[in-house]
Amino acid sequence: MRRAGAAIADKPLEALNEAEWEALCDGCGRCCMHRFEDEDTGEIVATNIACRLLDVTTCRCTDYGRRFQRVPACLDVRRLPREDYRWLPETCAYRLRAEGRPLPDWHPLIAGDDAAMRAAGVSMRGCCISEEEWLPEA
């Protein structure tokens, strides 16, 4: 059964207002993982090493309003050219909608909460470490 949030889930990205744009994020934390591009194949390879601003227990940014100032490499999805959406996780709602694909049933807008997302193994909660743990300052 589709929830009330499904109306947002079906809108094109260009039609979303600010609140709808923010609601589209499932909060999985995957976009906050460090990624690399394989020079030979062009494949985007994700790690389980999170941005220092990600709270790895909740998968939420600890300074969302100032993230671009504090982490210049943070992706501003709203300003990202569509061809660069390949840097987003394959499960990312912004990428799926940009590609004209529907959101999966586990997405919180459709399921009603994030339990289905966690059950589907999409959330990075408990599956990652902070870059500060991985490379502590010397």
Tens digit of pLDDT for each residue in 11-20?
889 999 999 9
- What CA–CA distance (Å, rounded) separates 84 from 39? 16
The DSSP call for residue 89 is -
Is the whole model's pTM more than 0.75, yes or no?
yes
In the predicted model, is pLDDT for residue 56 greater than 50? yes
